[in-house]
Structure 1
Amino acid sequence: MSQTKIGALQIGSALSSSKVTIQKVLDYESQIKDEACELIVLPEALIGGYPKGWDFGTRIGYRKEVGREQFLHYWNQTVNLQTDDLKDIRQMAKRTQTNLIIGVIEKVRSSLYCTTAFISNQGELNGVHRKLMPTASERLIWAQGDGSTMPLIKTENLKAGSVICWENYMPLLRSHMYSKDLNLWCASTVDDREIWQASMRHIAYEGRMFLISACQYLGSPSSLGFDTEWPDDKELIRGGSVIVSPMGEVLAGPIYGEEKLLSAEINLDDVIKARYDFDASGHYSRPDIFKLNVDQEERIKN
């Protein structure tokens, strides 16, 4: 079947408790069921949270005890994917018959990873992707993923891959993902800048595939009770979730300033038509000249 429907859920974390965030997702169950999307993408670091503005008591050359306490609080809100921490969301995916790609902060032993979890419409955890390169001070709290978690996820009609936030700016990673012959690029993020929209349109057009970007929405620090140096009346993360066609055309969104589920009906024949004159991993790739070696060995042990 060429026709299907895809979506993005723009929603924000409750840093006080992952249980509260999970309940926020569950509150969308009836709407998710009514939309009847084959796949919905949820934002980066949704379960566990994106602690924007926190410094974890760190300065070059030393770390404060208050920062260690802050890290402990954060670590306690994260999820262990080897347990039933996502059981309620997995059950919702099965009830709504919707495949989900959801951003979580995953704990593996004492380390944390910014991860996307692939949950099937049967409620099964079908794979994960761990962010390869946390950006800037994210590296204080998140470890680097290895090359073993860059899967192609197949649903009834879709061949999807997940790339998290500024990984989307890594040309070699993009080339590797294009080689998997995706028809859907899933970009979970917390980047609400205008330039992100240009990047999403470019990647959809470069890869000649559909693209979903799901961004968090978090209100101002004063509205959330946060104590940061961020302006009290400015939204911490303003959103910007968007769905783009293989020709770089915006199909839905971007949406700002609210939590919302957006969706678009798509025709996968548009992928083939778009690749008539440009196929990044096919007739336009010149593998006789360019070669990419990817180390996919698993190096992170649970």
Structure 2
Amino acid sequence: MTAAVVQASAPLFDTPGALARAQDLIREAVTGRGADVVVLPEAFLGGYLKGLDFGITVGSRTPAGRDLFRRYHASAIEVPGPEVEALADLTRDLGCHAVVGAVERRGGTLYCVALFLGPGGYLGLHRKLMPTAAERYLWGQGDGSTMPVVDTGTARLGAAICWENYMPLFRTAMYAKGVDLWCAPTVDDREVWQATMRHVALEGRCFVLSAAQYRRRDDLPADLHPIPGEAPATVLIGGGSVIVSPLGEVLAGPLRDGEGILTAALDLDDIARSRFDFDSIGHYARPDVFSLHVDESARPAVVRD
């Protein structure tokens, strides 16, 4: 199997433009690079507004911040919806699987999600369980009902979005579902992220496919004013996409200083080889000492009998 991780960003507040960019990048990864599985970064559709504060201070909001959220809300996608169907048509045509970071609009609330698509079309989504820090101004929390692991026929795909990768109980729940290809859409461009990706690969004995955004100030609309600076070449999100083997070896990347697509040929037999001496939810577990209860029920605010 050949895997590809895409390091790029899409135009903000331009949903058709973002969709077209996603389609072009998936098509390039599959037809130009031979990828069977393609991962796009966190919030690729809908956008990650790094460096913007939405006019929020403790106990107050501003009219300008509310209007910025209105623009952000309008550029998010609905699931199901036309953007999802367009991506599903593409993966059907190409015969590939894709994991695409997006911002989902559901009523008045936005969610950071990973969309799963394949030769059969739209396969499901994962909603980020815990938005990080100021992301909580913008995004709601997912629940246990959207933690899928998708069987491609040759490997099982799962996703943890950005700092969900630091949640040990979430990781354990996903390992128990037998994830083989751990997809990590992110905007974390720090050097220490590489240590996390190698740790997850080694702990889960799975391939890790981490796709990060790359964005500069000149990619933003002129009327936005990010805190990091106004110089056009100011890097807002610096990339760091990487592909790691089940024994923690870096197969491709990390990619820095620009956009691009990383690919790696994955020997799926390496999964069994790696689990010979460590299986965190199998022979290396101690269920007599430790146990984990996972609630995968949906938690709607209103239930109608």
- Give the structure-1-normalised TM-score: 0.95
Q: Secondary structure at the match of 1:27?
A: helix
Match of 2:199 in 1: 202
Q: CA deviation at 1:181?
A: 1.5
Q: Which amino acid aligns with 1:137?
A: A
1:66-119 CA-to-partner distances (Å, cap 9, x unmatched) read: 111111000000000122222322222122211000001001111000000101
Whether the aligned pair in 1 keeps the contact of 2:3 and 2:37 (CA below 8 Å) is yes
Q: CA deviation at 1:32?
A: 2.3
Task: Judge which range, 208-217 or 85-94, deviates more.
Answer: 85-94
Alpha-carbon spacing, 1:154–1:223, altered in 2? closer, same or farther (3 Å): closer
Q: CA deviation at 1:30?
A: 4.0
Q: Which amino acid aligns with 1:250?
A: V
Q: Which amino acid aligns with 2:77?
A: V
Q: Which amino acid aligns with 2:47?
A: G
Alpha-carbon spacing, 1:30–1:194, altered in 2? closer, same or farther (3 Å): closer
Work out the CA distance in 2 between the residues paired with 1:160 and 1:223: 31
Q: Which amino acid aligns with 2:45?
A: I
Q: Secondary structure at the match of 1:59?
A: coil
Match of 2:69 in 1: 71
The residue correspondences of 1:1-302 to structure 2 (distance < 5 A) are 4-28=1-25, 29-122=27-120, 124-219=121-216, 221-222=217-218, 224=220, 225=222, 226-231=224-229, 232=231, 233-300=233-300
Runs of 4+, deviation exceeding 4 Å: none
The root-mean-square deviation of aligned C-alpha atoms, in Å, is 1.5
Aligned residues: 297
Alpha-carbon spacing, 1:301–1:104, altered in 2? closer, same or farther (3 Å): farther
Whether the aligned pair in 1 keeps the contact of 2:19 and 2:83 (CA below 8 Å) is no
> Which stretches in structure 2 are left out of the alignment for 5+ residues?
none
Work out the CA distance in 1 between the residues paired with 2:19 and 2:80: 17
Alpha-carbon spacing, 1:301–1:264, altered in 2? closer, same or farther (3 Å): farther
Work out the percentage of aligned pairs sharing the same amino acid.
43
Work out the CA distance in 1 between the residues paired with 2:74 and 2:262: 31
Whether the aligned pair in 2 keeps the contact of 1:33 and 1:97 (CA below 8 Å) is no
Work out the CA distance in 2 between the residues paired with 1:301 and 1:249: 44
Q: Which amino acid aligns with 1:134?
A: P
Work out the CA distance in 2 between the residues paired with 1:273 and 1:46: 34
Q: CA deviation at 1:223?
A: 5.3
Work out the CA distance in 2 between the residues paired with 1:33 and 1:298: 38
- Give the structure-2-normalised TM-score: 0.94
Q: Secondary structure at the match of 1:168?
A: helix
1:239-288 CA-to-partner distances (Å, cap 9, x unmatched) read: 11100000100001111122211111111111111111111111001112
Q: Which amino acid aligns with 1:116?
A: A
> Which stretches in structure 1 are left out of the alignment for 5+ residues?
none
Work out the CA distance in 1 between the residues paired with 2:264 and 2:218: 34
Q: Secondary structure at the match of 2:88?
A: helix
Whether the aligned pair in 2 keeps the contact of 1:100 and 1:121 (CA below 8 Å) is no
Q: CA deviation at 1:13?
A: 2.3
1:32-53 CA-to-partner distances (Å, cap 9, x unmatched) read: 2232322111100000000111
Whether the aligned pair in 2 keeps the contact of 1:243 and 1:251 (CA below 8 Å) is yes
Q: Which amino acid aligns with 1:212?
A: L
Whether the aligned pair in 1 keeps the contact of 2:182 and 2:209 (CA below 8 Å) is yes
Q: Secondary structure at the match of 2:11?
A: coil
Q: Which amino acid aligns with 1:241?
A: S
Whether the aligned pair in 1 keeps the contact of 2:13 and 2:46 (CA below 8 Å) is no
Whether the aligned pair in 1 keeps the contact of 2:51 and 2:226 (CA below 8 Å) is yes
